[in-house]
């Protein structure tokens, strides 16, 4: 590309017109978060969660109240813990079969959600988000506003892609 002064400049746009290649120190979670994540209510039937993970891949389900406040997440492991205690994942409650979940003691999202998931704010520096992801070994963070409303998700693969674009990896 050629700048206004006629000098050659680097094209720092990401493919598809995304965020320019800002330095790692200048970006926040709001710059890299996805706002198109699936939100569910605590009373959502577990069969909906099963359908989500079998059709849409392994992105976590974010559990919110009716006002959008973050309550927890359901990961594929949370669901598997309920479906198959044989895999060795410890849980508060265990059911041996899918039918037991749908008609048994774990029948809604609230029964299996993880309540202590890590959240960050829109102005959290990406360097802090990376530190949290590394510390807690989880592939995503839920972004909340100051009132605790879930407004986005930052995934580790998005951060890796950005680090690659800006030349840090």
Domains and CATH numbers, the chain: 24-165 (3.10.580.10)
Element (H, E) at 64: strand 61-64
Question: To which residue do tokens 């309920």 refer?
Answer: 82
pLDDT digits (tens, 9 = 90+) for 70-97: 999 998 888 877 766 544 545 555 444 4
- Residue 124 contacts by C-beta under 8 Å, 6 or more apart in sequence? 28, 29, 143
Residue 166 has pLDDT above 50, yes or no: yes
Residue 150's pLDDT is what? 97
What distances in angstroms separate CA 133 from CA 30, 74, 122, 138, one per listed residue?
Answer: 16, 17, 16, 6
Pick the closest to residue 37 from 128, 149, 146, 129 (CA basis). 149
Residue 97's pLDDT is what? 43
Count CB atoms within 10 A of the CB of residue 109. Answer: 24
């Amino acid at each position: 590309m050629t700048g206004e002064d006629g000098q050659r400049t680097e094209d720092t746009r990401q493919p598809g017109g995304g965020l320019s290649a800002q330095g790692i120190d200048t970006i926040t979670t709001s710059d890299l978060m996805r706002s198109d994540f699936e939100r569910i209510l605590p009373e959502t039937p577990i069969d909906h969660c099963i359908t989500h993970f079998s059709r849409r891949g392994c992105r976590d389900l974010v559990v919110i109240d009716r006002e959008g406040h973050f309550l927890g997440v359901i990961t594929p492991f949370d669901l598997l813990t309920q479906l198959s205690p044989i895999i060795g994942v410890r849980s508060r409650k265990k059911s041996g079969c899918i039918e037991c979940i749908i008609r048994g003691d774990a029948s809604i999202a609230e029964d299996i959600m993880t309540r202590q998931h890590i959240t960050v704010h829109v102005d959290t520096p990406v360097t802090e988000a990376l530190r949290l992801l590394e510390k807690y070994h989880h592939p995503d963070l839920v972004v909340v506003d100051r009132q605790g409303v879930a407004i986005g998700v930052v995934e580790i693969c998005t951060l890796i892609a950005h680090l690659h674009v800006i030349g840090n990896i």
